[in-house]
């Protein structure tokens, strides 16, 4: 490097800073978004999850096709939707798979968003650039969201395409609409898990800790929440003897359901099964009394959406609360090299 | 009087009951190399973070080129470059890609970015390593790329936190030469924090000695020597004497209580 002195004298940096620098919020955000998106798409981690999810997606499609004739025999309307909702022997349906594995996708995209940058020492270099600090976390969330959007929609369309080829079914306009809303709900559901894992990545120093924290929440919501809801409902409204079971049955079931709805897993499952099965007419308990005189029929898409409107709002709220938490946490944190 | 580039007025930072920086008053002129010296945990990094608007001071204010560092951090960051200690790069990206990303973050035009990357890699002697992934770089190479990274946005003020840490003697000489050039030839203002006195002594115009959050001495090295009757003494000696004095006064304070 002895020659440095001579070289630098020969070519001075052009003093053009004033001309070329536009300090605006969107410049940094765009650069960050592009980099994060490229990072996600190029990473080995993304490749692994892509293979995993596509494998399960084809397994579920295979299951659906093998159980298809039974499903058709039961009800021969909205056949195309059955590609997504029918479970074969011992293979869950696509809908069930996504509800279970979706969180995993969000988790892998976000669990080390902030803390890995902190530990490699790039975060304090990043915040010293001419950008607003929030563009870092917004850029990360948007890039993860874009990956989720691309993946979910490509997967949903792929299932439809393969299903169309193998069964010869053609979707009706309403079915396409229902599938679109199903995929939209899925994107929001997975984006919630992305936001949650970013939240943990802001507050946990090590990426392993944040990954474990999100995984434990995922398992809790997917497996244990329903047990706990059941126990609590039985304590509050016991149904142990004949008298109690007559008096408390409705309250017991309603409480259990409401407790379950705290879990985003349940909320999502309930919403998409309503959207994907037009025959579902209510998401709450219905008494025999209320059913008297009702004509069995299908709900229109608009009516189905009306039923799950609260679910949509709930999921969006959960997502925004998690993201808001990580936003505030990140903005208030002091970033120094460790 | 030369133009003041960096100015701190009663800058104070508390962490709970711990006082990290205590009423710091300091101004640094344009083109100057100022060395902020002090032991680990003296509050040097905290001071730098406040200068860049990365943490809020408990009291007092800081200005870079007249811009309030707390109120207007983005404008401040557009004229001030920061090289943190333990500088890190995205290990999966090459040196060039890392610099390109920095350029884009700062909203530079693509043509300017490419032009600067070539100039800067040449300048820091990293041209042949520019297409290697930074994960393979040694500490010294990262440090050099760090200087290129800071210079991407062509800052008028450069703040370096412990730039000499963990670099071999040869690399150190090159680094010091480069720092001197940045000041003398480009007319940039440099604020260097360090606890390695010997190196800092070689290039700094003025130094400030910083112990437990307070600036206990500030001035040209020769002046500081005169104050403690160490005519022509080296900085090590001066620093030790000041440090002892500070320690004694701390002790006296405690005894009074």
What pLDDT is stored for residue A9 in this prediction?
Answer: 39
The alpha carbon of residue A149 is apart from the nearest alpha carbon of chain B, in Å, by 25
Give the one of A20, A30, A337 whose C-beta lies nearest to B85's C-beta. A337
Q: Which residues in chain A touch residue B54, judged by CB atoms under 8 angstroms apart?
A: 124, 127-128, 334-336
Helix (H, G, I), strand (E, B) or coil at B133: strand
Cα–Cα separations (whole angstroms), residue A78 to A71, A224, A273, B49: 11, 33, 13, 61
ipTM of the shown complex: 0.85
* Long-range contact pairs involving A226-232 (C-beta distance under 8 Å, separation at least 24): A226/A260, A226/A263, A226/A266, A228/A259, A229/A255, A229/A256, A229/A257, A229/A259, A229/A260, A230/A256, A232/A256, A232/A259
Q: Which of A7, A17, A337 sits opposite B122 (nearest CB)?
A: A7
Contacts of A138 in chain B (CB under 8 A): none
Which of B96, B83, B101, B95 is CA-nearest to residue B135?
Answer: B95
Residue B115: Cβ-neighbour burial (10 angstroms; 0-12, 13-18, 19+): middle
Residue environment code for A187-216, b if the CB has 16+ CB neighbours within 10 A, otherwise e? bbbbbbbbbbbbbbbbbbeebeebbebbee
Nearest CA in chain A to B77: A130
Question: Which of A135, A65, A127 has the alpha carbon at shortest distance from A94?
Answer: A65
**Residues A36, A37, A39, A44: what is their CA dihedral angle, to the nearest 10 degrees?**
140
Chain A CB contacts of B161 under 8 Å are 337
Determine which of A42, A124, A338 to mutate to test the interface with B (most B C-beta atoms within 10 Å). Answer: A124
Calpha distance B151→A183 (Å, rounded) = 46
Q: A4–B177: do the CB atoms touch at under 8 Å?
A: yes
For B191-236, the DSSP string reads EEEES-HHHHHHH-SEEEEEETTEEEEEE-HHHHHHHTT-TT--HH
Phi, psi of B11 (to 5 degrees): -65, 125
- The predicted pLDDT at position B85 comes to 85
Would the CB atoms of B106 and A337 count as touching at under 8 Å?
no
Residue-wise pLDDT for A227-284, tens only, equals 999 999 999 998 888 888 888 888 999 999 999 999 999 999 999 999 998 888 888 8
Instruction: Tell me which residues of chain A have a pLDDT lower than 70.
Output: 1-25, 337-338
Closest C-alpha to A237, from A249, A219, A224 = A249
Give the CA distances from residue A10 to residues A30, A238, B122, B144, B173, in Å, rounded to whole numbers and listed in that order. Answer: 35, 87, 12, 20, 21
**Full pLDDT tens readout for chain B, 257 residues:** 468 889 999 999 998 888 889 889 999 998 899 998 888 888 888 999 999 988 889 999 999 998 999 888 889 999 999 999 888 899 999 999 999 999 999 989 999 999 999 999 999 888 999 999 999 998 888 988 999 999 999 999 999 998 888 788 888 888 888 889 889 888 899 999 988 777 777 888 888 888 888 888 888 877 777 776 655 556 666 667 776 766 665 555 555 54
Q: Which residues of B touch A5 (CB under 8 A)?
A: 177, 181
β-bridge partners, B194:
B37
User: How many CB contacts within 8 angstroms connect chain A with chain B?
Assistant: 132
Q: Residue B231 has what pLDDT?
A: 54
By C-alpha distance, which of B201, B203, B205 is closest to B239? Answer: B201
Arithmetic mean of pLDDT over chain A: 87
Q: What pLDDT was estimated at residue B160?
A: 92
**Orientation angle between helical segments A173-203 and A264-276, nearest 10 degrees:** 170
Which two structure tokens, joined as six digits, stand for A10?
């020969």
Give Rg (Cα) of chain A: 25
CA distance B134 to A29: 23
- Secondary structure of residue A22 in the 3-state scheme: coil
d(CA A3, CA A1): 5
Whole-model pTM? 0.88
What confidence score (pLDDT) does residue B247 get? 61
d(CA B65, CA B2): 12
Nearest to A5 among B52, B153, B181 (CB): B181
Cβ–Cβ under 8 Å, residues A231 and A142: no
- The distance of B104 to chain A (nearest Cα, Å) reads 6
Provide the pLDDT for residue B233.
54
Query: Parallel, antiparallel, or unpaired: how do β-strands B214-219 and B33-37 relate?
Result: unpaired
CA distance B222 to B237: 12
pLDDT at A5: 41
The contacts of residue A239 (CB under 8 Å, 6+ apart) are A245, A248, A249, A252
Query: Is A23 within 8 Å of B75 when comparing Cβ atoms?
Result: yes
Of B86, B105, B185, the CB nearest to A8: B185
Radius of gyration for chain B, computed over Cα atoms and rounded to the nearest angstrom: 19
CA angle B112, B117, B122 (to 5 degrees): 130
State how far the Cα of A117 lies from the Cα of A140, in Å rounded to an integer. 12
* Residue whose structure tokens are 């970013």: A198
Q: Determine the 3-state secondary structure of B10 from DSSP.
A: strand
Written as six digits, the tokens of B92 are 């999966």
Rounded Cα–Cα distance for residues A88 and A60 (Å): 8
Chain A nearest-CA residue for B121: A4
Model pLDDT for residues A296-324, shown as the tens digit of each residue: 788 899 999 999 999 999 999 999 999 99
Q: Are A316 and A189 in contact (CB under 8 A)?
A: no
- Cα distance from B127 to chain A (closest Cα, Å)? 11
Do B199 and B236 meet the contact criterion of CB atoms below 8 Å apart? no
Within 8 A of B88 by CB-CB distance, chain A residues are 120-122, 125, 337
pLDDT at A194: 96
Q: Which residues pair with B217 in a beta bridge?
A: B209
Closest chain A C-alpha to B139 CA, distance in angstroms: 13
Closest by Cα among A129, A115, A153, A135 to A34: A135
- Written as six digits, the tokens of B9 are 């007025």
Using CA coordinates, name the residue in chain A closest to B113. A20
């Amino acid at each position: 490097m002895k020659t440095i002195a001579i070289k630098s004298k020969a070519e001075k940096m052009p003093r053009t800073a004033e001309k070329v620098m536009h300090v605006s919020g969107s410049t940094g955000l765009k650069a960050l978004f592009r980099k994060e998106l490229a990072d996600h798409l190029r990473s080995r981690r993304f490749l692994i999850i892509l293979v995993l999810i596509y494998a399960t997606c084809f397994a579920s499609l295979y299951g659906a096709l093998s159980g298809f004739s039974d499903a058709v025999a039961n009800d021969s309307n909205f056949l195309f939707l059955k590609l997504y909702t029918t479970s074969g022997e011992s293979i869950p349906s696509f809908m069930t798979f996504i509800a279970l594995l979706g969180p995993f996708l969000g988790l892998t995209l976000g669990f080390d968003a902030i803390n890995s940058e902190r530990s490699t020492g790039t975060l304090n270099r990043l915040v010293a650039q001419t950008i607003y600090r929030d563009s870092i976390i917004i850029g990360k969330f948007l890039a993860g969201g874009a990956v989720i959007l691309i993946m979910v929609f490509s997967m949903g369309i792929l299932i439809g395409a393969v299903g169309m080829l193998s069964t010869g079914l053609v979707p009706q306009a309403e079915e396409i609409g229902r599938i679109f809303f199903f995929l939209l709900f899925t994107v929001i559901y997975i984006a919630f898990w992305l936001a949650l894992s970013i939240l943990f990545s802001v507050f946990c120093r090590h990426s392993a800790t944040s990954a474990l924290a999100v995984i434990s929440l995922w398992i809790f919501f997917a497996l244990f929440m329903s047990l706990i809801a059941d126990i609590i409902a039985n304590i509050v409204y016991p149904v142990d003897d004949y008298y109690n079971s007559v008096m408390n049955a409705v309250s017991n079931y309603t409480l259990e359901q409401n407790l379950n709805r705290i879990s985003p897993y349940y909320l999502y499952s309930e919403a998409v099964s309503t959207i994907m099965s037009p025959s579902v007419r209510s998401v709450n308990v219905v008494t025999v009394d209320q059913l008297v005189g009702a004509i069995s029929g299908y709900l229109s898409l608009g009516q189905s959406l009306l039923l799950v409107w609260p679910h949509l709002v709930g999921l969006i709220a959960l997502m925004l609360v998690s993201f808001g938490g990580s936003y505030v946490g990140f903005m208030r944190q002091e970033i120094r090299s460790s | 009087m030369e133009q003041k580039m960096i100015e701190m007025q009663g800058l104070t930072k508390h962490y709970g009951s711990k006082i990290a920086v205590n009423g710091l008053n300091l101004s640094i002129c344009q083109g100057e190399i100022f060395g902020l010296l002090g032991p680990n945990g003296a509050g040097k990094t905290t001071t730098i973070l406040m200068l860049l608007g990365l943490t809020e001071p408990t009291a007092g204010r800081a200005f870079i080129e007249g811009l309030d560092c707390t109120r207007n951090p983005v404008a401040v960051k557009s004229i001030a470059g920061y090289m943190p200690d333990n500088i890190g790069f995205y290990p999966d990206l090459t040196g060039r890609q890392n610099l390109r990303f920095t350029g884009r973050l700062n909203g530079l035009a693509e043509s300017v970015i490419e032009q600067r990357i070539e100039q800067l890699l040449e300048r820091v002697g990293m041209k042949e390593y520019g297409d290697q992934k930074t994960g393979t770089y040694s500490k010294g190479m990262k440090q050099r790329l760090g200087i290129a990274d800071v210079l991407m946005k062509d800052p008028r003020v450069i703040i370096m936190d412990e730039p000499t840490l963990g670099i071999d003697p040869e690399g150190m000489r090159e680094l010091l030469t480069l720092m001197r050039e940045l000041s003398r030839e480009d007319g940039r203002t440099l604020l260097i924090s360090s606890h390695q006195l010997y190196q800092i002594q070689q290039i700094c115009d003025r130094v400030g000695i910083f112990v437990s959050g307070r600036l206990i001495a500030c001035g040209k090295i020769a002046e500081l020597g005169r104050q403690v009757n160490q005519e022509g003494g080296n900085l090590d000696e001066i620093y030790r004497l000041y440090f002892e004095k500070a320690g004694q006064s701390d002790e006296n304070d405690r005894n009074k209580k």
